[in-house]
């Protein structure tokens, strides 16, 4: 992008693509008002947008010469008190894509340029309306697909965890200057940096970094949806459950064993949390090549899931049920949670179900695992299942505004800082010489600085504005 293009007036459709009741087209730049004036016919005769105050709305129509295109509302925002810090005009028109395109074409005909992806936010950044980490969070905010993701993004936009990091980084910076002083005046053999205090600080930083890096798996899950794998014997009703949860027929359902041969994903929102459900082919010994492939993929999906739903048939014999549970438990890690779903309860006696599937009788399960009897077909007990799903997510962390890392760039920098601070910690206990301590501390400072914005890297910018869509 050249310097010149920064002076252009840009325009774009700022609402979602496709048909809606209304759509908003946004302009930003010195000529925004003048250009709008050329195609706007105010309802009140003689009104001139240029003479109107900031933050006002005006009714009228957009016309191309003598051809009226639509009736619109025009909002005026003036520099520097606008989103981008420039003169901004927002045209609210009717939602037909044809109308939107017509207006956009008119605007470009009169001197506006189509905005590039993220260019509005970029201008807001260049005009000092937000800093880079805020711009980064704006991208996340716009892309957030659930309440939890929105909350985490918002928290980051308000400064998030960087304040705490800045504080620790500053303390570490003080220490390193003392160590550097020791090094450069080593002829006098002095120790300025109190090693005990330094060790304490390093421990503190280490603990924080660990907490932050650990929060990433949750953060990432919140951002992209928590992966839930549905597995079980063929014909246990996995696809039916999925359909019940999705309230639509996406998976193929039939009574023939092994119908679902592919892995199908869909995201559903339960009380503000996204869950990414992965329906899998059933697991059973087979000679069918296609099905064997499907089963391999099932195991692969299990390894990537945070929650595994094991679907079993209420009428399966005890032996089969216990085998299935211990078989799946063998494949799970400590952090993966298992929910055993006993399906088709409509086909069995309620009191027997209660007795047979009491959690105590399943020594294979750990304390965090649960058993939920349901009927996917009759939609019985589905709310118990969704509650069980919600319980597995550490909602308290989000509720208490605890810091959750969602950004991959931050995560990588945190990991590298963590590795380096571990070396500092080791070095301190082994009593290594100051120059090596200094090198590791410098590395910690560097990577923390990448997060707090004290260190410039070209990667940051490259990613941020690219992740926006046009009109943002």
Name which of 413, 454, 422, 460 is nearest 213 in CA terms: 413
Q: Which is nearer to another protein, 45 or 184 (CB)?
A: 184
* 409 is an interface residue for another protein by CB under 8 A: no
Residues composing the chain: 472
Q: Which listed residue (47, 353, 443, 470) binds another protein by CB under 8 A?
A: 443
Query: Which range of residues in 12-20, 91-99, 173-181, 316-324 is near another protein by CB under 8 A?
Result: 173-181
Instruction: Please state, in angstroms and rounded to a whole number, the distance separating the CA atoms of residues 113 and 116.
Output: 9
Choose, by CB under 8 A, the member of 225, 294, 373, 434 that binds another protein.
434
Span near another protein by CB under 8 A; candidates 9-17, 278-286, 400-408, 441-449: 441-449
Q: How many helices (H) and strands (E) does the chain have?
A: 16, 13
User: Contact between 433 and another protein (CB under 8 A)?
Assistant: yes
Choose the binding region for another protein from 56-64, 231-239, 338-346, 452-460 (rule: CB under 8 A). 452-460
Q: Does residue 461 touch another protein according to CB under 8 A? A: yes
Stretch of residues binding another protein (CB under 8 A), selected from 63-71, 178-186, 220-228, 406-414: 178-186
The secondary element (H helix, E strand) that includes residue 370 is: strand 370-373
CA distance 15 to 11: 12
Q: For 20-50, give one letter per residue: b (16+ CB within 10 A) or e.
A: eeebbbbbbbebbbbbbbebbebeeeeeebe
Fill in the per-residue mask, 122 to 161: x = in contact with another protein (CB under 8 A), - = not in contact: x--xxxx--xx-----------------------------
Give strand pairing partners of 64: 67
- Are 233 and 284 a contacting pair, CB within 8 Å? yes
Q: Is 268 helix (H, G, I), strand (E, B) or coil?
A: strand
Strands of the 10-13 sheet, one edge to the other = 40-42, 56-64, 67-77, 88-94, 22-28, 10-13, 113-114
Shorter beta-carbon distance to another protein: residue 3 or 50 = 3
- Secondary structure E strands in 170-252: 226-232
- Which residue lies nearer to another protein by CB, 204 or 435? 435
User: Using alpha carbons only, what angle is made at residue 121 by residues 116 and 123, rounded to the nearest 5 degrees?
Assistant: 85
Exposed, middle or buried by CB within 10 Å (0-12, 13-18, 19+), for 53?
A: exposed
What is the smallest separation between the CB atom of 89 and another protein, expressed in angstroms? Answer: 21
Contact by Cβ (8 Å): 12, 470: yes
Residue nearer to another protein on the CB measure, 124 or 245:
124
User: By CB under 8 A, is residue 431 in contact with another protein?
Assistant: no
**Residue 47 makes contact with another protein by CB under 8 A:** no
Taking the complex as a whole, how short is the minimal distance between the CB of residue 144 and another protein, in angstroms? 24
Task: Give the binding range for another protein (CB under 8 A) out of 150-158, 176-184, 357-365, 379-387.
Answer: 176-184
Which of 77, 357, 411, 465 forms a contact with another protein (CB under 8 A)? Answer: 465
Q: Is 191 in the site for another protein (CB under 8 A)?
A: no
Footprint of another protein on this chain (CB under 8 A)? 1-3, 6, 122, 125-128, 131-132, 177, 180-181, 183-188, 433-436, 438-439, 442-443, 446, 453-458, 460-462, 465
């Amino acid at each position: 992008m050249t310097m010149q293009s920064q002076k252009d007036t840009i325009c774009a459709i700022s609402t979602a693509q496709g048909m809606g009741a209304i759509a908003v087209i946004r302009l930003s730049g010195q000529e925004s008002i003048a250009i709008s004036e050329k195609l706007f016919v105010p309802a009140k005769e003689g009104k001139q947008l240029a003479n109107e105050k900031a933050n006002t709305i005006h009714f009228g129509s957009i016309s191309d010469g003598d051809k009226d295109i639509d009736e619109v509302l025009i909002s005026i925002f003036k520099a520097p008190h606008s989103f981008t810090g420039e003169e901004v005009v927002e045209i609210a028109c009717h939602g037909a894509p044809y109308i939107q395109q017509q207006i956009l074409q008119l605007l470009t005909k009169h001197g506006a340029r189509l905005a590039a992806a993220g260019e509005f936010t970029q201008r807001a950044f260049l005009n000092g309306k937000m800093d880079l980490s805020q711009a980064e969070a704006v991208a996340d905010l716009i892309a957030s697909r659930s309440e939890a993701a929105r909350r985490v993004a918002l928290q980051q936009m308000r400064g998030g965890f960087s304040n705490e990091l800045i504080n620790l980084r500053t303390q570490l910076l003080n220490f390193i200057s003392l160590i550097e002083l020791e090094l450069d005046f080593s002829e006098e053999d002095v120790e300025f940096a109190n090693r005990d205090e330094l060790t304490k600080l390093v421990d503190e930083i280490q603990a924080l970094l660990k907490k932050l890096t650990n929060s990433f798996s949750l953060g990432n899950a919140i951002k992209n949806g928590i992966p839930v794998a549905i597995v079980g014997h063929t014909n246990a009703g996995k696809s039916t459950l999925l359909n019940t949860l999705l309230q639509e027929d996406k998976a193929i359902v039939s009574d023939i064993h092994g119908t679902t041969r592919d892995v199908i994903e869909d995201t559903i929102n339960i009380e503000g949390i996204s869950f990414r459900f992965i329906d899998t082919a059933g697991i059973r010994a087979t000679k069918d090549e296609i099905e064997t492939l499907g089963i391999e993929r099932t195991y692969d999906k299990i390894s990537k899931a945070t929650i595994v739903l094991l679907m079993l048939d209420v009428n399966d014999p005890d032996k089969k049920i216990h085998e299935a549970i211990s078989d799946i438990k063998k494949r799970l890690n400590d952090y993966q949670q298992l929910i055993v779903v006993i399906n088709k309860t409509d086909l069995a006696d309620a009191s027997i179900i209660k007795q047979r599937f009491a959690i105590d009788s399943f020594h294979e399960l750990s304390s965090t695992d649960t058993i939920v009897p349901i009927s996917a077909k009759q939609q019985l007990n589905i709310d118990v299942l969704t509650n069980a799903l919600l319980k597995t997510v550490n909602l308290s962390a989000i509720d208490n505004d605890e810091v959750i890392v969602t950004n991959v760039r931050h995560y990588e920098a945190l990991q590298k800082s963590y590795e380096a601070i571990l070396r500092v910690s080791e070095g301190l206990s082994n009593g290594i010489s100051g120059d090596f301590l200094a090198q590791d501390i410098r590395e910690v400072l560097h990577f923390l600085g990448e997060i707090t914005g004290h260190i410039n890297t070209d990667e940051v910018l490259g990613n941020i504005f690219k992740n926006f869509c046009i009109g943002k």
